[in-house]
Amino acid sequence: MERTLVFLKPDAVRRRLVGRIIARFEDKGFNILALKMVQLGQEWVRAHYAEHEGKHFYEPLVRYITGGPVVALVLEGKNAVEAVRRMLGQTFGSTAAPGTIRGDFALSDRFNAVHASADVEAVQEEIERFFRPEELCECPEDATRWIYDQSGAAPV
């Protein structure tokens, strides 16, 4: 099983969408291994979004993410990174398809409700930014017996 990091951004928290968004991940069948609400500082946000430094949206992005608390969670499931990214939809809420999280809960091109790890290589570093190893809970194998066919060597 693959893991991914997701955090619900300040607009999702302030609009009281946390439960509705998390429910979509649960409805899909993901296991939640860790969950917390935290206020991110500028240093953390600047490090997290360092690849965008110097771009026209960087400073507004830093203000946005530090503007209120976020809810971070670690999800586990088959092809978690790709599946979660598809669930989120396109980056900008104004162009995200209906039925996706951003398509249903975001209209802004800046306030887009949620972040998810971009690729498998980024996952571990992002998880470690939010959670200590002892904060992650393991799910028993039987927790997914009605999510996947586990009769073979790998879940299907």
Is 90 exceeded by the pLDDT of residue 102?
A: yes
Q: Please tell me the predicted confidence (pLDDT) of residue 141.
A: 75
* Strand order, beta sheet including 2-8: 31-38, 70-77, 2-8, 114-116
Cα–Cα dist 103/6, whole Å: 17
Q: Please tell me the predicted confidence (pLDDT) of residue 154.
A: 85
* Averaged pLDDT, 17-35: 98
Q: Please tell me the predicted confidence (pLDDT) of residue 143.
A: 84
The predicted-structure confidence for 40-68, as pLDDT tens digits, reads as follows 999 999 999 999 999 999 999 999 999 99
Q: Please tell me the predicted confidence (pLDDT) of residue 72.
A: 98
Quick check: is 48 catalytic? Answer: no
3-state secondary structure labels for all residues of 41-62: CHHHHHHHCHHHCCCCCHHHHH
The predicted-structure confidence for 105-123, as pLDDT tens digits, reads as follows 999 999 999 999 999 999 9
pLDDT band at 36 (very low <50, low <70, confident <90, very high): very high
Cite the beta strand spans of the chain per DSSP E: 2-8, 31-38, 70-77, 114-116
Q: Please tell me the predicted confidence (pLDDT) of residue 23.
A: 98
Q: Please tell me the predicted confidence (pLDDT) of residue 150.
A: 85
The predicted-structure confidence for 124-155, as pLDDT tens digits, reads as follows 999 999 999 999 999 887 888 889 998 888 88
Residues 31, 37, 38, 44, Cα dihedral to 10°: 30
Q: Please tell me the predicted confidence (pLDDT) of residue 83.
A: 98
Q: What is the pTM of this model?
A: 0.93
Hey, what domains does the chain have and what are their CATH numbers? 2-133 (3.30.70.141)
CA angle in degrees (0–180, nearest 5) for 128-134-139: 100
Cα–Cα dist 8/71, whole Å: 5
